[in-house]
């Protein structure tokens, strides 16, 4: 699948940014522009998100192969990858399947393990999204109001409705492929694994208010990524890059520049 992307700069080490579930490359515009000062920066829309093609098939090996095709299509060699949440799992899968393609990997608030209900789920989000009748929807504000009974956090509601766009008939539609995300949600909660380990530098960044990456995940991280370091951003949750953008930017810039962060 040919993924939609935006290239922000054309000099320096190639660096890819992969967004999370329900997101798109625009969510990373600020960080992409900042990191583009030092790196050849590409932000990608993963399949079924943003302006990339839609498909009923969706799992981590398939999505990792999409990114591999992008790397080959742009004639890139070793790239750095920054992946948040679902995008972090895509990046980990690619690193385990094709380690020769990646020089450095920064994984934002996600572990390689499978996720059960104890880590939270998106059932309320999916229920809210699926309940909205797009044919009669008049505005994003109305959509946010309709989501309020299922999605408590206003920032999350605003993030979700930012994916509403109008079609050629001026009717609203979701930018992401909602049926495919819903039908494959179980696959997106699976862990990642590969035929080999990834021995190059990896940095896992955890938000200390988030339960997406926990102490019990460290053993699996060390097994698959023996050179990994893990750091925690205090006072931040799962969207730590949006909550503390300057702090996260400096951390990411230093890591991809080769300045290691200790666990």
Who wins on pLDDT, 123 or 102?
Answer: 102
Q: Which of 5, 8, 13, 1 is nearest to 255 (CA)?
A: 13
Question: 87: Cβ–Cβ under 8 A, 6 or more apart, which residues?
Answer: 17, 18, 19, 20, 23, 46, 108
- 77-92 burial, b at 16+ Cβ within 10 Å, e below that, comes to eebbbbbbbbbbbbbb
Predicted confidence at residue 259, as pLDDT, reads: 77
Local structure of 209: helix, strand or coil? coil
> For the residues of 163-179, what is the DSSP string, one character each?
TEEE-TTS-EEESS-HH
User: In this predicted model, what pLDDT tens digit does every residue of 118-165 receive, in sequence order?
Assistant: 666 788 999 999 999 999 999 999 999 999 999 998 989 999 999 999
Write out the catalytic residue numbers. Answer: 85, 238
- Are 181 and 21 contacting, i.e. CB atoms less than 8 angstroms apart? yes
pTM of the predicted model as reported, rounded to 2 decimal places: 0.95
- Are 129 and 160 contacting, i.e. CB atoms less than 8 angstroms apart? yes
| Residues forming CATH 3.40.50.1820 domain(s) in the chain | 5-118+189-256
User: In this predicted model, what pLDDT tens digit does every residue of 20-57 receive, in sequence order?
Assistant: 999 999 999 999 999 999 999 999 999 999 999 999 99
Domain 5-118+189-256, CATH class in plain words: alpha beta
What's the start-to-end Cα distance of the chain, in Å?
37
């Amino acid at each position: 699948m040919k993924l939609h992307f935006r290239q922000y700069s054309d000099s320096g080490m190639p660096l890819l940014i992969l967004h999370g579930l329900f997101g798109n490359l625009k969510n990373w515009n600020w960080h992409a522009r900042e990191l583009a000062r030092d790196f050849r920066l590409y932000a990608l829309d993963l399949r079924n998100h943003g302006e990339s093609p839609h498909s009923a098939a969706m799992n981590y090996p398939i999505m990792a192969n999409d990114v591999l095709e992008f790397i080959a299509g742009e004639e890139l060699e070793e790239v750095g990858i920054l992946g948040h949440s679902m995008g972090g799992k895509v990046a980990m899968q690619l690193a385990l399947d094709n380690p020769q393609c990646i020089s450095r990997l920064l994984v934002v608030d996600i572990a390689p393990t499978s996720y059960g209900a104890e880590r939270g789920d998106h059932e309320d989000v999916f229920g809210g999204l699926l309940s909205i009748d797009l044919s009669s929807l008049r505005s994003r504000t109305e959509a946010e109001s309709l989501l309020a009974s299922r999605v408590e956090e206003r920032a999350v509601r605003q993030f979700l409705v930012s994916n509403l766009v109008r079609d050629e008939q001026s009717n609203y539609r979701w930018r992401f492929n909602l049926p495919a995300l819903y039908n494959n949600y179980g696959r997106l909660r699976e862990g990642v694994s590969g035929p080999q380990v990834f021995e190059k530098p990896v940095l896992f960044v955890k938000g200390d208010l988030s339960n997406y990456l926990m102490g019990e995940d460290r053993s699996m991280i060390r097994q698959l990524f023996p050179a990994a370091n893990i750091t925690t951003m205090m006072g931040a949750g799962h969207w730590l890059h949006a909550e503390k953008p300057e702090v996260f930017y400096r951390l990411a810039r230093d890591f991809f520049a080769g300045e290691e962060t200790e666990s």
